[in-house]
Amino acid sequence: MLDLVLLRKSPDEVKAGLARRGVPTSDLDELIAKDEEHRSLLQEAERLRATVRELSKRVGEARKSGDTKAAEELTSESRAIGDEERRASEKSDAAGDEVRALLLALPNIPSDETPDGLSEDDNVEMRRWWPGMDTGAPFPSFEEYQKVPHWESGEALGILDLETGAKIAGSMFPLYRGDGSRLIRALSAYALDRHADAYEEIRPPTFALTETMMSTGHLPKSADDMYEIPRDGLWAIPTSEVPLTSMKSNQILEEAELPIKMTAATACFRREAGAAGRDTRGVLRTHEFDKVELFAYCTPEQAQECFDDILARAEAMLQSLGLTYRLLSLCAGDIGTSSKRTIDLEVFSPGVDRWLEVSSTSWFGDFQARRANVRFRRNGSPKFVNTVNGSALAWSRIWIALVETYRQMDGTIALPAVLSPYLGGRTVISKR
C-alpha cells in the first residue's frame, strides 16, 4: 500500500511515479480529495466529542452544586451533540473505508532502475547465459530430436498424462506419472537443500485468509485469477509469497533480527483466466504447479543485498541444471501490482521454441509491509520493513525445459547429474 503521508506531502512525485505505470492522474486526484474529506470529518467528529466531554464535566459540576435544572439542560444538550457526533463518526468511518479502498487499488511506485514502458514489449533484456559460454561456446543450436514438444515426449515415455488429469480436475490440471512425478519432487528437494545455508525452510498452509491475500497485493487487483472458497473465507495460494509475507503481520521486529530469510516449497494455484491458444498446450500454463520460493524481510538498506542474493540463487540453479536462460528487467507497465522492481528469468526450451518464464525476483519496498503491518524498531521508533521475494524455481516450465533440452536421439531423457541423488542414483528417464 502506498504511503498516504507521502501522497499528502509530495502529490506530484507520486503522480509522476504512477504515471510510468499508466495510472491516470484522476485516480490520485480522487484519492487526495477523499483523504481531505476524511480528515475534515475526523476533525469534526473529534470537535463534537470534545464538546460532549466538556458538557459531561459541566453536568457533574451542576449536580454537585445542586443546580438540577442546569444539569438537565446540559444533559439534553450533551445527548443532542452526542447524536451529532455519532453521525459524524459514521461519515468519517465511511470516508476512511473509501480512502482505504482507493489505496488498495493503486499499485506501487516503480524504482528508478525499472525501465519505462507500458507492456511486456518494453521489457529490457539484460544478458543471456548458456553452457560453455565462458569458454567461448556459441549460443546453442539444438538437434532435431530435441525439438520435440514435451507433451509428445511425456506421453511417449508415460511420464505425463494430460488426458487423465483433465478427466479428474478439468483442463490445465496436469497429471505426472512415474519418473515425471519423481522429477518434480526431486527438483523441490534439490532446491531446498541448496538454499538451506541461509533460508529457513517453512511449510505454510496452502490456503490463506482474505486478509493474508490482501497483504501481498494479490487482492483486490487479481481476484479473478485466484481460486476462492467462499464458504470458508479462504483462497488457494498463488505462491508461497502470500503466507510468508504475513508470518510476521502486526509485529514489530528488532532491527538486529533482520534480514529474516525463508524458503518454502508449495503447490500454487492460478486460474490463468487470460490464457489462450498455444499457451495452453502441455504444461506451458497450468492451474496448479509446484514452486520453491525465497523470501526476505529486511531493512531498506538490506533490500539490494537480499534482491541480489535471491536472483543469484535462481541463476545458480539454472546453471547447475545446464539450461540456457536470459534475464529481463521488467518495465514499469509490466511489473506486478506490489513491485517496485522485477527481474525475470526465462529459460529457452527447444521443443516449443520459446523463452519460458521460470522465476521473478521482486523488491516491494514497504508496500506489502504496510498492508501486513510488519515493522522493525530503529532507535526506538517503529519503521516498516521491506520485502523481497523470488522463485528458485517454478517447476512446471523447468520440467518442460529439462524434458526437451535433454531428450536423446532414442527418445530417452538424460537429466543433469546434480539430480542423481534425488532420483535414486539415476539420471535417465526411459519408457515405463
- Domain final residue pick, 104, 130, 148: 104
Residues 384 and 236 occupy one common structural domain = yes
Query: How far is 264 from 392, CA to CA, in rounded Å?
Result: 10
Residues 58 and 147 occupy one common structural domain = no
Check whether 280 has a pLDDT greater than 90: no
Residues 16 and 152 occupy one common structural domain = no
Residues 301 and 189 occupy one common structural domain = yes
- Measured CA to CA in angstroms, residue 328 lies from 116, 123, 271 at distances of 13, 6, 24
Residue 63 falls inside a structural domain: yes
Residues 51 and 146 occupy one common structural domain = no
DSSP summary character for residue 109: P
- Domain final residue pick, 80, 104, 128: 104
pLDDT score for 14: 97
Of the candidates 202, 198, 300, the residue with the CA atom closest to the CA atom of residue 255: 300
Contacts 24+ apart (CB under 8 A), 180-185: 180/154, 180/399, 180/429, 182/423, 183/159, 183/399, 183/402, 183/415, 183/419, 183/423, 183/429, 184/290, 184/395, 184/399, 185/422
Residues 272 and 326 occupy one common structural domain = yes
Residues 148 and 262 occupy one common structural domain = yes
Residues 36 and 128 occupy one common structural domain = no
Q: Give the cell for residue 225.
A: 485469477
> Helix-strand-coil percent breakdown of the chain, rounded to 5?
45, 20, 30
- Measured CA to CA in angstroms, residue 81 lies from 33, 43, 77, 419 at distances of 27, 15, 6, 74
Residues 31 and 158 occupy one common structural domain = no
Residue 299 falls inside a structural domain: yes
Query: pLDDT digits over 340-359, tens only?
Result: 999 999 999 999 999 999 99
Query: pLDDT digits over 34-86, tens only?
Result: 999 999 999 999 999 999 999 999 999 999 999 999 999 999 999 999 999 99
Collect all residues with Cβ–Cβ distance below 8 Å to 103 and sequence separation of at least 6.
1, 2, 4, 31
Is the torsion defined by CA of 278, 120, 322, 238 positive or negative?
negative
Check whether 278 has a pLDDT greater than 70: no
Query: How far is 381 from 193, CA to CA, in rounded Å?
Result: 37
Instruction: End-to-end CA distance of the chain: give it in Å, rounded.
Output: 51
Query: How far is 155 from 177, CA to CA, in rounded Å?
Result: 10
Residue 329 falls inside a structural domain: yes
CATH number reported for the structural domain that contains residue 387 in this entry: 3.30.930.10
- Domain final residue pick, 104, 132, 158: 104
* Residues facing 361 on adjacent strands: 343, 390
Residues 265 and 154 occupy one common structural domain = yes
Edge to edge, the sheet with strand 251-254 lists: 251-254, 374-378, 381-384
Residue 113 falls inside a structural domain: no
Hey, what amino acid is at 4?
Answer: L
Query: pLDDT digits over 311-340, tens only?
Result: 999 999 999 999 999 999 999 999 999 999
Residue 82 falls inside a structural domain: yes
DSSP string across 199-268: SEEE---SEEEHHHHHHHT-TTTTGGGSEEEGGGTEEE-SSTHHHHHTTTTTEEEEGGG--EEEEEEEEE
Residues 243 and 358 occupy one common structural domain = yes
- Map grid coordinates 520459446 to a residue: 354
Residue 19 falls inside a structural domain: yes
Q: Give the cell for residue 341.
A: 522492481
- Map grid coordinates 486460474 to a residue: 271
Provide the mean pLDDT of the chain. Answer: 96
Residue 154 falls inside a structural domain: yes
Number of folded domains that form the chain: 2
CATH number reported for the structural domain that contains residue 61 in this entry: 1.10.287.40
Query: pLDDT digits over 123-145, tens only?
Result: 999 999 999 999 999 999 999 99
Mean pLDDT across the stretch 15-31?
96
Query: pLDDT digits over 240-274, tens only?
Result: 999 999 999 999 999 999 999 999 999 999 998 66
Residue 112 falls inside a structural domain: no
Q: ω into residue 220 within 30 of 0, thus cis?
A: yes
Of the candidates 269, 276, 279, 265, the residue with the CA atom closest to the CA atom of residue 356: 279
Is the torsion defined by CA of 64, 69, 73, 76 positive or negative?
positive
Residues 143 and 215 occupy one common structural domain = yes
Domain that holds residue 424: 120-429
Check whether 429 has a pLDDT greater than 80: yes
Q: Give the cell for residue 274.
A: 487470460
